Amino acid sequence: MPGANINLIPRELKKEFRVREVRKSVNIAGAIILGLSLISAGSLVIAGSMLRRSYNDILAKTKNEEQKIIDMRSLEQDADRLETKINALQNIMKGRKRYSYLLRILSDSTPEGIKVSALTAGLGNDITLAGTADNYITLAKFLLGLIDPDLGGRLFLSVDLSSVSLDERVGLARFLISVKLKEGEMIIK
């Protein structure tokens, strides 16, 4: 085919064109890189200054709120005192025992012929009773009364007769009883 392999542009000129194109691309790339750098640096500076402004704004508002709280200091102290005491009171009230109730139940459960001479109640759930009974039948009645659901059983869980002896001088039975209290029954509700 005639003219198919004919190159009209000289080879040097072609090379020169390519070089120019490469130079142009390099310059464009440089401009883009520079532009992007400037944009990113500028954006960062602007973002920084905006953030700083918002930070200063919050600081100013905070100072304002702090001043409001300082102005209401005595009210805050009252509120704090009330809350502290209410919390403490709740804890205290949880564990207070009604010893008056114990005495009431004890008197309800004690029949005639029984004389309690000593009572000891401690931190735990056990109490001890010492005293005298006119006779063993009265003592047995007393022991049953202490666990009767309508009498002592409202408060006492179990009763143990620790010792009993007959005092021949006075003709009375001396006893020592250990009573277990129902868990939580004595707590002031």
Question: Could you tell me which residues come within 8 angstroms of residue 182 by beta carbon, excluding any fewer than 6 positions away?
Answer: 125, 155, 156, 157
- 91 lines the binding site for other proteins (CB under 8 A): yes
CB of 32 to other proteins, least distance (A): 8
Interface residue with other proteins among 4, 10, 65, 169 (CB under 8 A) is 65
- Identify which range of 5-13, 96-104, 136-144, 148-156 contacts other proteins by CB under 8 A: 96-104
- 167 lines the binding site for other proteins (CB under 8 A): no
- 137 lines the binding site for other proteins (CB under 8 A): no
- 166 lines the binding site for other proteins (CB under 8 A): no
Long-range contacts of 111-118 (CB under 8 A, 24+ apart): 111/138, 111/141, 111/142, 111/145, 112/138, 113/138, 113/141, 114/138, 114/139, 114/142
At 38, list the tokens.
Answer: 């400037």
- Identify which range of 2-10, 113-121, 150-158, 171-179 contacts other proteins by CB under 8 A: 113-121
- Which residue's CB is nearer to other proteins, number 56 or number 158? 56
Residues 2-61 touching other proteins, rule: CB under 8 A, are: 19, 23, 26-27, 29-31, 33-34, 36-38, 40-41, 44-45, 47-48, 51-52, 54-55, 58-59, 61
How many CB atoms lie under 10 A from the CB of residue 142? 23
How many residues line the site for other proteins (CB under 8 A)?
A: 72
- 169 lines the binding site for other proteins (CB under 8 A): no
- 174 lines the binding site for other proteins (CB under 8 A): no
